């Protein structure tokens, strides 16, 4: 059986979040182990889903759980900008299912053990499946401070990223021509940035669906209008019973609101 699915960005983020919370590796570490959730739009959705299966109660607002963000002009008619979120919420980690706010991310991660997980999103997904992260800080931001410890310890990086972030370029090559000192004109009210390639387990709409269900998923189109800008269209192929299960899951996404960012 074949099914077409069109998802706007907020629905894609929610889908990825719901299914990441179902992954055996996540379920295991929510019982015993550590999961570090860095700030980011998709990570905010994931944090909401992990709280539901955690041993803690915790309240936060997704727009606060973002570091850098690309937002439209104030009147929605001008050129957009890449800015720093005016509200900085603490990063979060789960220890044996208990939620904790991170005080020092480096010291926190250095206490992690074999098999523990860092959830870190990205800004670009290239045609090779490589992920790039924008760097607006001269010290490299979250990933710049953590990558050495992550690689030294052999921790797992889980990279949730929506297919709207597909680019027609090579992340490694782009990282060589970008940089705070390389960009002369960042645009109105925007940051100068570099890019860091990161490696890990990439979880987009296709890979996460295929990880949870015995199906084939194809990304067959992108874009839309009238509120579906940034949307993706998927073709899902599987048995009738699994397609029905996925259809029931997709019903939960129908009223997912658009993400509303903070403004300075």
Higher pLDDT among residues 76 and 180, named by residue: 180
CA distances from 29 to 25, 97, 206, 236, 240 (A): 6, 7, 23, 30, 32
Kindly report the number of other CB atoms within 10 A of residue 111's CB atom.
Answer: 11
pLDDT in tens, 52-110: 999 888 999 999 999 999 888 876 677 888 889 999 899 999 999 999 999 999 999 99
Three-class secondary structure of residue 147 per DSSP = helix
Q: Please tell me the predicted confidence (pLDDT) of residue 75.
A: 63
pLDDT in tens, 128-168: 999 999 999 999 999 999 999 999 999 999 999 999 999 99
Q: Please tell me the predicted confidence (pLDDT) of residue 76.
A: 65
* Cβ neighbours of residue 33 closer than 8 Å, sequence gap 6 or more: 95, 96, 113, 115, 116, 117
DSSP 198-255: E-SEEE-HHHHHHHHSS-EEEEEEE--STT-TT-EEEEEE--HHHHHHHHHHHHTTTT
Instruction: Give the residue ranges of DSSP H helices in 102-182.
Output: 105-110, 141-153, 171-177
Q: Please tell me the predicted confidence (pLDDT) of residue 55.
A: 85
Cα distance between residue 223 and residue 255, in whole Å: 19
Half-sphere exposure of 7 (CA within 13 A, CB side): 29
Q: Please tell me the predicted confidence (pLDDT) of residue 23.
A: 98
């Amino acid at each position: 059986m074949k099914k077409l699915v069109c998802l706007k960005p907020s629905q894609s983020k929610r889908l990825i979040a719901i299914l990441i919370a179902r992954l055996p590796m996540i379920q295991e570490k929510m019982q015993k182990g550590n999961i570090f959730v860095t700030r980011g739009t998709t990570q905010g959705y994931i944090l909401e889903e992990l709280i539901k299966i955690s041993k803690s109660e915790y309240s936060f607002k997704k727009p606060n759980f973002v570091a850098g963000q690309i937002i439209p002009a104030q009147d929605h008619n001008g050129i957009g900008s890449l800015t720093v979120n005016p509200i900085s919420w603490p990063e979060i980690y789960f220890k044996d299912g208990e939620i904790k706010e991170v005080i020092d991310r480096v010291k926190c991660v250095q206490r992690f053990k074999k098999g523990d997980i860092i959830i870190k999103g990205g800004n670009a997904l290239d045609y090779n499946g490589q992920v790039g992260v924008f760097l607006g800080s001269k010290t490299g931001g979250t990933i710049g401070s953590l990558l050495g410890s992550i690689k030294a310890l052999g921790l797992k990086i889980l990279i949730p990223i929506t297919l709207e972030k597909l680019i027609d370029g090579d992340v490694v090559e782009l990282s060589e021509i970008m940089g705070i000192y390389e960009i002369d004109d960042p645009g109105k009210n925007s940051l100068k940035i570099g890019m860091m390639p990161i490696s890990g387990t990439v979880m987009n709409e296709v890979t996460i669906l295929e990880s949870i269900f015995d199906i084939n998923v194809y990304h067959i189109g992108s874009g839309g209008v009238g509120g579906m800008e940034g949307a993706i269209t998927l073709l899902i192929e599987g048995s009738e019973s699994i397609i029905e299960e996925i259809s029931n899951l997709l019903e939960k996404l129908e009223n997912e609101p658009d993400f509303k960012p903070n403004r300075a």
